Amino acid sequence: MERLGTETAFEVLARAKALEVQGRDIIHLEIGEPDFDTPKHIIDEATQALNHGATHYTPSTGIPELRQAIADDVSRTRGIRVTPDMVVVVPGGKPIMFFAVIALIERLDSVIYPNPGFPIYESMLNFVSADARPLPIRMEHGLSIDIDEVRAMITPHTKMLILNSPANPTGGVLSRSDLEAIAELAIRHDIIVLSDEIYSCILYDQEFVSIASLPGMQERTIILDGFSKTYAMTGWRLGYGVMPVNVVQAVSRLISNSTSCTATATQLAGVRALTGPQDDVDKMVRAFRQRRDVIVNGLNRIPGFKCLMPQGAFYAFPNIVGTGRKSKALANYLLNKAGVATLSGAAFGSYGEGFLRLSYANSVNNIERALDRIDAAVRRL
């Protein structure tokens, strides 16, 4: 159990809430979830389903209608041919990490994963005693990877490479040419790719490219995606994996041994989300883009802050080395003295030191107030 990590966002949220109980006004830029409510037609579908008896177990891999809707959606958005037997429905995107790693990674298998990156990758790899190899994501590379660095890290023991684009915590997006170079390495060295595409719909200036769509990659890629971010459904717990059928069978067994299945009404809501109108998603992404521009421009005016323009997700990841403070100390200072909850970049891995992560899934008004508070507090340092 000691090898399992955690997610700092939930800890900082708890500290921020404790300050609020004491009467402090806190602006929340720590937690990674859309501030929008789930679109009404999706909620209506679930309430109707509950009223009409959708209160029983489902097959462990999901109801056929949802597996079909996901297969159709992923086929269309990734330009590949996905059939329902390649789809596993789970309670959120996160369980796909858990199940894929447990199903495929043996002790001392080498796995390359992004750092800074979503903390659960490293946690899961340590849990199964893998040889976890952090792949640095550097500002000098536009918050992307250096393909030569990937190449140098591959050994005969490399079993899996984890990718996340658009990325948490950086908002960085892998270019098609980087994905092609990675695909070439994965095929040559027989490496499985776990492609975390949970932010695939929250992308600003380009079309989404999945590594699974490159020649020879679908059969060695596990796509992780879900409804939490795209449809503002974090609390519903609905996600999925798309993977080769033999991996589906292994994951199905893990589901039978743990969650049994995903909530039935939630799955029916998922069918409606995928097959219903998408206007709310478009509206949300337009709002995120406007907030991104406000926060990045504002951060770059704060002394000691330097922030690249993120291309996807809803996070800004400024470098704060110029403030002379360590990331965690600065995040604590901003929470306690300025009433702004942010996360230390180091909470996402050692290469995140020198950065803060700010979620801009908040109103423009709150973002502007937070920027004023951060600016004033940093000038007092």
Which of residues 94, 159, 220, 357 is near ligand PLP by CB under 6 A?
Answer: 94
Residues in region 176-205 near ligand PLP by CB under 6 A: 196, 198
Dihedral sign of CA atoms 291, 293, 295, 296 in order? positive
Tell me how far apart the alpha carbons of residues 184 and 163 are, in angstroms, rounded to a whole number: 15
- Closest by Cα among 198, 227, 14, 237 to 118: 198
Please, are residues 111 and 124 in contact by the beta-carbon 8 Å criterion? no
Which of residues 92, 171, 270, 310 is near ligand PLP by CB under 6 A?
Answer: 92
Residues in region 209-268 near ligand PLP by CB under 6 A: 226, 228, 234, 239
Window of 48-56, 92-100, 206-214, 372-380 that interacts with ligand PLP by CB under 6 A: 92-100
122 φ, ψ (degrees, to nearest 5)? -65, -40
Window of 72-80, 87-95, 143-151, 274-282 that interacts with ligand PLP by CB under 6 A: 87-95
Instruction: Pick the closer one to ligand PLP by CB: 164 or 327.
Output: 164
CB of 198 to ligand PLP, least distance (A): 4
Which of residues 30, 32, 99, 371 is near ligand PLP by CB under 6 A?
Answer: 32
**Core vs surface per residue 12-46: b (16+ CB within 10 A) or e:** bbeebeeeeeeeeebbbbbbbebbeebbeebeebb
Counting residues that bind ligand PLP (by CB under 6 A) gives 13
Instruction: Pick the closer one to ligand PLP by CB: 168 or 266.
Output: 168
Instruction: Pick the closer one to ligand PLP by CB: 165 or 323.
Output: 165
Tell me how far apart the alpha carbons of residues 71 and 87 are, in angstroms, rounded to a whole number: 7
* Cβ neighbours of 284 (radius 10 Å): 22
Distances (CA, A) of 69 to 43, 56, 222, 273: 18, 21, 18, 10
Site string for ligand PLP, 290-319 (x = CB under 6 A): ------------------------------
Q: Is 164 in the site for ligand PLP (CB under 6 A)?
A: yes
Peptide bond into 166 cis (omega under 30): yes
Which of residues 39, 93, 116, 172 is near ligand PLP by CB under 6 A?
Answer: 93
Q: Give the binding site for ligand PLP (CB under 6 A).
A: 32, 92-94, 118, 164, 168, 196, 198, 226, 228, 234, 239
